[in-house]
Amino acid sequence: MGKKIIILASGGGTNAQNIIQYFDKHDNIKVHSVLCNRKEAGVYDRVNALGVQCQWFDASNDLTLEDYMKEYQPDLIVLAGYLKKIPPSLVKGYPNKIINIHPALLPKYGGKGMYGMHVHKAVKAAGETKSGITIHYVNEHYDEGGVILQKAVTLDSQDTPSDIGAKVQQLEYAYFPKAIEQLLS
């Protein structure tokens, strides 16, 4: 099979879909499965339609996640809109093998509660002239792991938080799969 990715998601799954489609024709890297901690998330339909297994797991039980990873031995664990903190035991068990994408230029606008539209509203409120993405390793603290890649986009003063989100999302789609590919090559 080559290199194996397991994705963790909590929401609609557009980044998971983008990653799966990117590696669909890849010879050496495949998305094995997607795990989701929310039963009502949109990611299930999106991912299952692509022929990749997507299943719910109980995020309050750290052992469930750790057992799954032990069984399937991913080369990389990718957080794509996953909103729960990764258990310290999993971080220790997979050093530099868990990555996340954050919708801002860290260290700004990171930390607990800073995700999705919360980030874009904060960026707008601060009058920032640019925002972007940070792809980083996951450690024991929210959004504090080593930076793998940052890409920025220029903001206009009339951009709404939704406009900022759309610009940032385009960067996510363009760069997240490529960063994953580089890490696994």
Write out the H or E segment, with its range, that includes residue 8.
Answer: strand 3-9
Residue 32 annotated as catalytic: no
Cβ atoms of residues 99 and 180 within 8 Å: yes
Pick the catalytic residue from 26, 32, 102, 120: 102
Cβ atoms of residues 112 and 98 within 8 Å: no
Cβ atoms of residues 75 and 134 within 8 Å: no
In angstroms, rounded to a whole number, what is the distance separating the alpha carbons of residues 42 and 170? 19
Beta carbons within 8 Å of 17's beta carbon, 6+ residues apart: 46, 47, 50
Catalytic residues: 102
